[in-house]
């Protein structure tokens, strides 16, 4: 079975599940015209009557649309944390984030000091065509001032997004002069691979941020390039990857597994068990792999991690993943809104349920992990010893929610000096990076080779410049011993933030950050093969 057949099988299976449910529901509605059906109908009619009576009799004018939305949202909240109602705006944003493109102006920006600073302009995008440059400060969107007004970053994003062909005026400050730009919005590609490069002669690194519609194609392009450079081993970074499209996770897993190896199965009260296995046509079956995970790794990322672990195909490094293993079925309405209803659970090949238990404290689970010491000690991980399962080679793995790594990496708290904490509070590092870009704009824009960029950064006394900037602009200076304690961490961080303003963008950021990334360093020192 080739990859195309594999994809078709995935789509056919999913369609079969959906059609099966629809046929079942239709049969029930035709055959069972019973008291139960009447009772269900009356309960929904009760909700309708309540809303009608409120509309007719309530003392003040009310927004019935908003009230109906609130009633639906409240009803779904009684089910599980991931069955949700999405109003039109939220549904559009949710779908565009994963579709592989959205419609907008085509810039990447940060807000280090209450002003949006353009970090990158999408090549060929509408902003580049209009003349926007790296380092521009966005003062206004349309007639609304957003600089110095504490406008939330997500609100800025919404203002700049809009349908293809629509016009928006951005006023930016460049070298002290306010300049207006009329920008025609267009489709903007959304890339899910933040970085892909060789760490050494045989080991490659790929950072995947989400599972979008284009993930498999982007991943394939990346690994083919890395194979041509000598890749024998891959560090695959899924930290803070919250998931996305299920089929993309299947296709990535398929690249690493032998024919017949289980990837995942799903099962629910109204959904019979459906297994998904590898077809043996993958191109990376001989590549050693370490998968990097943390508490932000969820959903499709956990499916991939679980498949690699249960088949003893590679080593999982980091901290216990989030634990989201619920299958959502989308139902969209003609008004642009929709619901996401949980219909089944995901299970790893060994039988582990990925979904962690959900109760009233579900949203605070990550904070509880900190409180219980799980982030700093493997012994503090809450393991359900009754949920014991075995990998293909007989290794013990445990259910209870999330993927527990083979190699635990604690959060490093040793570098948290008062100077470092205060710099973080004021985002001094990010402000310094934008200051350096203004100062060295022409130099930074000239580098498209990492080694050349690194040599140049090492030549400009960034340490001295940062300490001077922090003292002069932010009135922050390290106390005796503080800089020595935090220098080894902060300097690579500063280089990464400044390097991001070069043509190398995120690649420069992750390359500079590499030496202080404890998870990557531990993965490099450890084997990627399960013996």
Instruction: Give dist(CA 443, CA 110) in Å, integer.
Output: 21
Instruction: Give dist(CA 359, CA 156) in Å, integer.
Output: 34
CATH class name, domain 101-189: mainly beta
pLDDT digits (tens, 9 = 90+) for 355-366: 998 876 787 788
Would you say how long the chain is, in residues?
531
Instruction: Give dist(CA 181, CA 168) in Å, integer.
Output: 8
Selected residue with higher pLDDT from 132 and 257: 257
User: Looking at domain 193-411, which CATH architecture does it have?
Assistant: Alpha-Beta Complex (3.90)
Q: What is the pTM of this model?
A: 0.81
DSSP 400: S
CA distances from 261 to 7, 253, 514 (A): 16, 10, 33
pLDDT digits (tens, 9 = 90+) for 418-471: 999 999 888 899 889 988 988 998 999 899 899 999 999 999 999 999 999 999
Q: Are 345 and 329 in contact (CB under 8 A)?
A: no
Q: What is the dihedral of CA 510, 512, 513, 515, to 10 degrees?
A: 130
Q: Are 528 and 290 in contact (CB under 8 A)?
A: yes
Q: What is the dihedral of CA 44, 50, 53, 57, to 10 degrees?
A: -160
Q: Are 235 and 524 in contact (CB under 8 A)?
A: yes
- Tell me if residue 23 falls in helix, strand or coil: helix
| Residue located via tokens 């130099």 | 443
Q: What is the pLDDT of residue 30?
A: 38
Question: Which pLDDT band, with edges at 50, 70 and 90, does 526 fall under?
Answer: very high
Q: Are 519 and 491 in contact (CB under 8 A)?
A: no
Quick one: three-class SS letters along 431-446? Answer: HHHHHHHHHCHHHHCC
Where in the sequence of the chain do the CATH 2.30.42.10 domains occur?
A: 101-189
Instruction: Give dist(CA 299, CA 321) in Å, integer.
Output: 9
Spell out the residues 6+ positions from residue 74 whose beta carbon is closer than 8 angstroms to its own. Answer: none
Most confident of 16-25, 170-179, 449-458: 449-458
Spell out the residues 6+ positions from residue 274 whose beta carbon is closer than 8 angstroms to its own. Answer: 13, 17, 265, 266, 267
Retrieve residue 476's tokens.
């922050």
Spell out the residues 6+ positions from residue 367 whose beta carbon is closer than 8 angstroms to its own. Answer: none
pLDDT digits (tens, 9 = 90+) for 191-241: 899 999 999 999 999 999 999 989 999 999 999 999 999 999 999 999 999
pLDDT digits (tens, 9 = 90+) for 508-518: 999 999 999 99
Q: What is the pLDDT of residue 200?
A: 96
Question: Taking Cα atoms as reference points, which of 325, 327, 332, 309 lies closest to residue 272?
Answer: 327
pLDDT digits (tens, 9 = 90+) for 122-163: 776 888 888 888 788 999 999 999 998 888 887 888 888 888
Strands (E) in 348-454, as ranges, are 388-390, 396-398, 407-408
Q: What is the pLDDT of residue 95?
A: 67
pLDDT digits (tens, 9 = 90+) for 394-420: 999 999 889 999 999 998 877 778 999
Residue 175 forms beta bridges with which residues?
A: none
- Tell me if residue 208 falls in helix, strand or coil: strand
Q: What is the pLDDT of residue 40?
A: 59
pLDDT digits (tens, 9 = 90+) for 74-120: 888 888 888 888 887 777 767 666 665 678 898 888 887 778 888 87
Neighbours of 312 (CB within 10 A): 17
Q: Are 463 and 490 in contact (CB under 8 A)?
A: no
- Tell me if residue 368 falls in helix, strand or coil: helix
Instruction: Give dist(CA 445, CA 448) in Å, integer.
Output: 8
Question: Which pLDDT band, with edges at 50, 70 and 90, does 19 fall under?
Answer: very low
Selected residue with higher pLDDT from 347 and 174: 347
Give yes or no for residue 39 having a pLDDT over 60.
no
Pair type for strands 203-208 and 193-198: antiparallel
Q: Are 28 and 20 in contact (CB under 8 A)?
A: no
pLDDT digits (tens, 9 = 90+) for 316-339: 999 999 999 999 888 888 888 888
Spell out the residues 6+ positions from residue 249 whose beta carbon is closer than 8 angstroms to its own. Answer: 211, 243, 264, 300, 301, 303, 304
Selected residue with higher pLDDT from 462 and 67: 462
Percent of the chain topping pLDDT 90: 51
Where in the sequence of the chain do the CATH 3.90.226.10 domains occur?
A: 193-411
Instruction: Give dist(CA 278, CA 254) in Å, integer.
Output: 5
- Tell me if residue 392 falls in helix, strand or coil: coil
Neighbours of 202 (CB within 10 A): 12
């Amino acid at each position: 079975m080739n990859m195309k057949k594999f994809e078709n099988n995935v789509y056919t299976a999913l369609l079969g599940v959906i059609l099966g449910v629809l046929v079942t529901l239709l049969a029930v509605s035709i055959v069972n015209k019973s008291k139960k059906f009447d009772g269900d109908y009356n309960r929904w009619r009760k909700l309708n009557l309540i809303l009608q009576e409120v509309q007719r009799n309530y003392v003040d004018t009310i927004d019935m649309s908003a009230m109906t939305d609130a009633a639906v949202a409240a009803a779904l909240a009684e089910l599980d944390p991931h069955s949700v109602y999405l109003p039109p705006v939220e549904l559009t944003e949710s779908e565009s984030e994963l579709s592989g493109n959205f419609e907008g102006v085509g810039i990447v920006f940060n807000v280090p000091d209450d002003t949006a600073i353009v970090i990158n302009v999408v090549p060929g995008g509408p902003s580049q065509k209009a003349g926007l440059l790296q380092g521009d400060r966005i003062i206004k969107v349309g007639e609304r001032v957003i600089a110095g007004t504490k406008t939330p970053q997500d609100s800025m994003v919404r203002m700049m997004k809009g349908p293809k062909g629509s016009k928006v005026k951005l006023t930016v400050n460049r070298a002290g002069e306010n300049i207006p730009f009329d920008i025609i919005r267009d489709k903007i590609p959304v890339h899910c691979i933040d970085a892909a490069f060789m760490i050494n002669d045989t080991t490659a690194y790929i950072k995947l941020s989400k599972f979008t519609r284009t993930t498999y194609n982007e991943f394939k392009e990346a690994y083919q390039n890395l194979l041509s450079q000598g890749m024998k081993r891959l560090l695959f970074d899924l930290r803070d990857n919250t998931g996305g499209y299920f089929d993309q996770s299947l296709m990535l897993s398929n690249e690493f597994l032998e024919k017949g190896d289980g990837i995942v199965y799903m099962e629910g009260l109204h959904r019979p068990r459906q297994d998904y296995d590898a077809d043996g046509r993958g191109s990376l079956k001989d590549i050693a792999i370490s998968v990097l995970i943390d508490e932000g790794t969820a959903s499709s990322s956990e499916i991939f991690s679980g498949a690699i672990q249960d088949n003893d195909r590679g080593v999982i490094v980091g901290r216990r993943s989030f634990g989201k293993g619920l299958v959502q079925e989308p139902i969209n309405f003609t008004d642009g809104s929709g619901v996401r209803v949980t219909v089944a659970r995901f299970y790893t090949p060994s039988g582990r349920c990925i979904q962690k238990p959900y109760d009233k404290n579900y949203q605070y689970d990550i904070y509880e992990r900190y409180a219980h010491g799980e982030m700093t000690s493997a012994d503090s991980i809450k393991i359900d010893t009754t949920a014991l399962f075995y990998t293909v080679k007989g290794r013990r793995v445990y259910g209870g929610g999330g993927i527990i790594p083979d190699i635990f990496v604690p959060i490093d708290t040793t570098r948290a000096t008062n100077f470092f904490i205060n710099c973080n509070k004021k985002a001094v590092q990010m402000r310094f990076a934008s200051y350096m870009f203004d100062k060295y704009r022409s130099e930074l824009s000239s580098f498209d080779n990492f080694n050349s960029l690194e040599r140049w950064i090492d030549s400009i006394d960034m340490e001295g410049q940062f300490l001077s900037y922090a003292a002069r602009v932010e009135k922050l200076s390290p106390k005796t011993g503080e800089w020595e304690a935090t220098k080894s961490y902060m300097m690579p961080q500063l280089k990464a933030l400044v390097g991001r303003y070069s043509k190398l963008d995120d690649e420069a950021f992750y390359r500079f950050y590499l030496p202080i990334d404890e998870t990557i360093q531990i993965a490099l020192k450890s084997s990627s093969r399960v013996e």
